[in-house]
Amino acid sequence: MSKPIIATTSLAGCFGCHMSILDIDERILDLIELVEFNKSPIDDIKTFTKKCDIGIIEGGCCNSENIHVLKTFRENCKILISLGECARTGGLPAMRNNKVTVKECLEEAYLNCVTVDDNPDNIIPNDEELPFILDKVYPCHEIVKIDYFLPGCAPRADLIWNALVALITGKPMDLPYEVVKYD
């Protein structure tokens, strides 16, 4: 049987979940034996070169580009995992939901900010190639179907490892409290 193929991405996350994947430490060398990596910011494969078995999503969707990437992952991966709080619930970036409007966010950042001195024409970045900021931050499962959810901010390295091994080997997942709990 050929090795399962894994792809990963970070949407509106902080990259902490990807750092937690790296925190499986020397088990990285085992993981490389168990699976094949495709598109991921951890390697240099930047677009899907084949269909993948497992897609790991960090981060929710805060702009139009995040939605596009997430849909591409759904199309190319058999199983999608929401990794961490931002993918699962929108996480900290979702604190802007129902609190500040996009307009307020932009005005605060570019017009009213105390250190902005050099903006004589009161520009708010508007290049057509910049993706649109969404009205709020969306968890991934509100955009596409998500198969599994791994909690934590960031999820513990042991949780990520146990989940991947369970998925790859088809065995039940070991979920002791100290691995699943998060604060």
Partner 1 sequence: MKRVTIDPISRLEGHGKIEIFLNDEGNVENAYLQVPELRGFEQFSVGRHAEDLPVITQRICGVCPEAHHMASVKALDAVFNVDPPPAAKKIRELLYSAFYVTDHTTHFYALGGPDFIVGPDAPPLERNILGVIHKVGVDIGKQVIACRSRNHQVIKTLGGRGIHPTGGVPGGWSKALKEEDRVNIEKIAKENIEFALFSLKAFDDIVLKNSDYLNLVTSDIYHHKTYYMGLVDKNNQLNFYDGMVRVVAPSGKEFVKYEAKDYMNHIAERVEPWTYLKFPYLKNVGWKGFVDGEDSGVYCATPLSRLNCTDGMPTPKAQEHYQQMFETFGSKKLGKRYEPVHFRLATHWARLIELLYAAERMLELATDPEITSPDVRVIPTTIKGEGVGCVEAPRGTLTHHYKTDENGVITHANLIVGTTNNYAPISMSIKRAAEQLITKGKVNEGMLNKVEMAFRLYDPCLSCATHNLPGKMPLQIEIKNSCGESLDIIRRDI
Q: Which residues of this chain interact with partner 1, rule CB under 8 A?
A: 9-20, 22-23, 25-26, 28-29, 32, 39, 41-47, 49, 59, 62-63, 65, 68-69, 72, 91-93, 95-96, 99-100, 104-106, 108-110, 113-119, 123-131, 133, 153-154, 157, 183
Nearer to partner 1, 51 or 169 (CB): 51
CA distance 117 to 18: 36
Buried b (16+ CB within 10 A) or exposed e, 101-130: eeeeeeeeeeeeeeeeeeeeeeeeeeeeee
Nearer to partner 1, 130 or 175 (CB): 130
Nearer to partner 1, 7 or 172 (CB): 7
Backbone phi, psi, residue 164, to 5°: -65, -45
Please measure the distance between the N-terminal and C-terminal CA atoms of the chain and give it in whole angstroms: 39
Q: How far is the CB of 106 from partner 1 (least distance, A)?
A: 7
Query: Would you call 133 helix, strand, or coil by DSSP?
Result: strand
Pairing of strands 36-37, 5-10: parallel
Nearer to partner 1, 25 or 178 (CB): 25
Q: How far is the CB of 183 from partner 1 (least distance, A)?
A: 8
Q: How far is the CB of 121 from partner 1 (least distance, A)?
A: 9
Q: How far is the CB of 28 from partner 1 (least distance, A)?
A: 7
Q: Judge contact between 7 and 48, C-beta under 8 A.
A: yes
